[in-house]
A and B are shown apart, each in its own frame.
Chain A
Amino acid sequence: MLRVSALTRRYGARVAVQDVSLVIASGEILGLLGANGAGKTTLIRAAAGLLPPDAGTIEVAGVNLWDQPVEARRRLGYAAEEPSFYEELSADEYLAFVAAVRGMEPKGARERAHALLERLGLEDRCGEPVHRFSHGMRKKLSFVAAVLHRPAVLLCDEALEGFDAAGALEAKSELRSLAAAGSAVLFSSHVTEAIERLCDRVVVLHGGRIVRQLERAHWGAPERGPSPLEREFLTVAAGANP
């Protein structure tokens, strides 16, 4: 699970995140809602170990992120809002590198990577250098790299923005199955519809502070899974594909 305690992060005089505490249990998908500039990305980047906090602590599956960064990152997956890669490597090479650094068993890692790429519609492009990828394809690759090792804690920062409808459905399905297997997922988005259908609980961030926490029952959540329009699209897409 992920435990963030009294986290504060400033950029010069500006406080981006102030005294934020939250816990995400194993198997839970927590939605992080907030307007632009509310501090969502800062909170997630701090939780991913990319921004050292000015105050507070972060525990990833019981390991303090800044005391044992390597151990903590073994248990962590991070899908960035603006992902970066080794642009000259192919998607396949990039994922092979990530899997090797994570110490994954090569055959299993390769099979899982290719299964995920296929589900997201990226399989036939995985041999091309990443710098040729569109924005949506880059986001999908970042997502695959983040979930490849089935992390104990997964941080998704606007992770599904830019996905096509079929890819987004597959990604949400993967998130649900990871949560069902015990992963704690922090899912940030400014699209309330995605959070409504996916998350078990929501925290609302405003001005760098948590201003509201809502359980799923509070917002009269719709059914999990595809919306009626998504179902219609999937039917058409399935018919179009031989």
Chain B
Amino acid sequence: MSSMTRARDATEVPFRDLERRLTRRRWAQLDLRLRVELVALALIVSGFLFWQARAPLDGLAHRGGPPAVVLAVAVVQVILAALAGVLAATRRARALRVGPPGPEWLALPVAPERLARHLAWDARQAGWAIGVPAAGVLAAAVGLIPAAWELALVAGSAWLLSVSSRLGAAVGQAWALGAAERRPGITPLACALGATSRPRRHRLRAATWSRTSPLWALVRKDIQLTGRLSAVARKAATAAMLWALALLAWGLPGEPALRHSAAFVLTLLAAASLAEWLAVLSGADPFAVLRGLPVGLAAVWGARFAWALLGLVLVVVGHAMAAHELSTHALQVFLVWSGAATLGVATLGVNYGVTLFPRADLAQRLLGLALGLAVAASIMIPLSGWVVLWMAVIHSARRLTHWHRLEEA
């Protein structure tokens, strides 16, 4: 008994220290820009929920008084806490199914209960994100109920989030352990973790061996990577979804001018997503693989520019078929505008991706900056955005010839 207590005491402090350090490091490893973006995103989400909840709560306060508001806010907090529990449960179950973050835990002299508590702590962190919308709803009740009740709601919400996350983590563990293969004499947690450390066979479809040019070999490889890298697939899916929405915009009810504008703006957003996808694809090329093979700039750039051309064709053909209401002249102008924008924006993505390899993050930032400048210029002086866009394309093209001299960052 005393040795067990000593063992628990011995691991308690290092784990608490580890959890504190992990919290600090995970925040510290986000660069300043990302931190600002995350804070801004949290403010936007909670602000949006405040805006959405304030008017209904105000109506409730007039009809039923403060108790009705408290009840409504409490119900929303319970729903949000349940969501936090679901997040913690799925994260916990996934960690036990595919392997938790950290070292080979089974190789360390750690009691299974302490390890389980640490893994539960890790899973619970996801649940705290629910605090952002919860804060928006709580803020919407300020002034409609007495301050003491508001404070009680805040404290209750925090308690609910904590309890729900713990409960969710426990459910997730029970779910994952129930599915794991049991072995006599071994704790269920060790069985589950042991299963994750065993490599699983995962066979892909047989490769296609065919005679093709380097350009088409690269195109085929890009398609394969897009299907398998979720970050790359998301960019491609976003572009396709925005392009589909741009076509659907022609069916919106209301003023024709609104449909026209919506279709154009969505086409521009689709082009920006296409450009981001192309930049990220270049970033996925391992330096030593591509630079060690007999491929030149024409193949590398051409394989990505082919997608820009395909985007142009899809935009022109799609809008030509969907925009029935436009006169012939108006349609021609729209097609030239949207087609040129798609080609320009996508080419800019290709150029930044190829020349800034392997920094796909930098390529995306520069792309965003150039497009932001083009939009701002267009708002200030009509049509000047085109000049900014095509100047950026020309400027980025000047570095293309140096692509093979880039070194690993």
A binds B: yes
Judge whether B221 and A86 touch: CB under 8 Å: yes
Q: Mark B276-308, 1 if CB is under 8 A from A, else 0.
A: 000000001111110111111001000000000
Q: Mark A216-235, 1 if CB is under 8 A from B, else 0.
A: 00000000000000000000
Judge whether A50 and B293 touch: CB under 8 Å: no
Which residues of B lie under 8 Å from residue A90 when comparing CB positions? 203-204, 207
Distance, CA A110 to CA B206, complexed state (A): 11
Q: Mark A81-95, 1 if CB is under 8 A from B, else 0.
A: 001111011101101
Judge whether A128 and B295 touch: CB under 8 Å: no
Judge whether B225 and A86 touch: CB under 8 Å: yes
Which residues of B lie under 8 Å from residue A129 when comparing CB positions? 202, 204, 228
B328 at the interface (CB under 8 A from A): no
Given A84-B286, A89-B225, A127-B204, A96:B209 Cβ within 8 A: yes
Of all chain A residues, the one with the shortest Cβ separation from B404 is A69
A99 at the interface (CB under 8 A from B): yes
Min Cβ gap A158→B in Å is 14
Stretch from A14-22, A72-80, A189-197, A206-214 forming part of the interface with B: A72-80
Min Cβ gap A240→B in Å is 22
B229 at the interface (CB under 8 A from A): yes
User: B207, B212, B214: which contacts A92 (Cβ < 8 A)?
Assistant: B207
Of all chain A residues, the one with the shortest Cβ separation from B208 is A96
Stretch from A23-31, A100-108, A166-174, A178-186 forming part of the interface with B: A100-108
Distance, CA A51 to CA B212, complexed state (A): 28
Distance, CA A186 to CA B291, complexed state (A): 19
Of all chain B residues, the one with the shortest Cβ separation from A92 is B207
Distance, CA A129 to CA B206, complexed state (A): 11
B217 at the interface (CB under 8 A from A): yes
Residues of B385-409 at the interface with A, using a CB-CB cut-off of 8 Å, are 404-405, 407
Distance, CA A42 to CA B213, complexed state (A): 31
Min Cβ gap B280→A in Å is 13
Judge whether B295 and A86 touch: CB under 8 Å: no
Which residues of B lie under 8 Å from residue A88 when comparing CB positions? 224-225, 228-229
Judge whether A100 and B212 touch: CB under 8 Å: yes
Of all chain B residues, the one with the shortest Cβ separation from A98 is B293
Judge whether A50 and B292 touch: CB under 8 Å: yes
A interface residue count range (under 10 / 10 to 19 / 20 to 34 / 35 or more): 35 or more
Which residues of A lie under 8 Å from residue B291 when comparing CB positions? 49-50
B199 at the interface (CB under 8 A from A): yes
Distance, CA A70 to CA B228, complexed state (A): 29
Of all chain B residues, the one with the shortest Cβ separation from A91 is B207
B210 at the interface (CB under 8 A from A): yes
Min Cβ gap A53→B in Å is 11
Which residues of B lie under 8 Å from residue A106 when comparing CB positions? 209-211
Min Cβ gap A90→B in Å is 4
Of all chain A residues, the one with the shortest Cβ separation from B295 is A101
A109 at the interface (CB under 8 A from B): yes
User: Main secondary structure on chain B at its contact with chain A?
Assistant: loop
Judge whether B294 and A89 touch: CB under 8 Å: no
B201 at the interface (CB under 8 A from A): yes
Of all chain B residues, the one with the shortest Cβ separation from A126 is B207
Min Cβ gap B234→A in Å is 14
Given A51-B407, A93-B204, A109-B209, A100:B217 Cβ within 8 A: yes
Judge whether B201 and A101 touch: CB under 8 Å: no
Judge whether B293 and A93 touch: CB under 8 Å: no
Q: Mark A30-58, 1 if CB is under 8 A from B, else 0.
A: 00000000000000000011111000000
Of all chain A residues, the one with the shortest Cβ separation from B215 is A101
Which residues of A lie under 8 Å from residue B199 when comparing CB positions? 132
Judge whether A50 and B220 touch: CB under 8 Å: no
Judge whether A86 and B289 touch: CB under 8 Å: yes
Which residues of A lie under 8 Å from residue B210 when comparing CB positions? 96, 100, 106
Distance, CA A72 to CA B224, complexed state (A): 28
Judge whether A50 and B287 touch: CB under 8 Å: yes
Which residues of B lie under 8 Å from residue A78 when comparing CB positions? 288, 292
Min Cβ gap B294→A in Å is 4
Min Cβ gap A45→B in Å is 8
Distance, CA A95 to CA B294, complexed state (A): 14
Distance, CA A71 to CA B294, complexed state (A): 7
Min Cβ gap A186→B in Å is 14
Min Cβ gap B222→A in Å is 10
Judge whether B209 and A132 touch: CB under 8 Å: no
User: B207, B212, B292: which contacts A48 (Cβ < 8 A)?
Assistant: B292
Of all chain A residues, the one with the shortest Cβ separation from B407 is A51
Which residues of A lie under 8 Å from residue B203 when comparing CB positions? 90, 127-128
Judge whether A101 and B214 touch: CB under 8 Å: yes
Distance, CA A235 to CA B217, complexed state (A): 42
The 7 A-B residue pairs with the shortest CB-CB distance in the complex, in nearest-first order: A100-B217, A84-B286, A88-B228, A92-B207, A73-B294, A96-B207, A127-B203
B interface residues, Cβ below 8 angstroms from A: 199, 201-212, 214, 216-218, 220-221, 224-225, 228-229, 284-289, 291-296, 299, 404-405, 407
A interface residues, Cβ below 8 angstroms from B: 48-52, 69-74, 76, 78, 80, 83-86, 88-90, 92-93, 95-103, 105-107, 109-110, 127-129, 132
List 16 A-B residue pairs with CB atoms under 8 Å apart, sorted by A's residue number. A50-B291, A51-B407, A69-B296, A73-B293, A73-B294, A74-B294, A84-B289, A88-B229, A90-B207, A92-B204, A98-B293, A101-B217, A106-B210, A107-B209, A127-B204, A128-B204
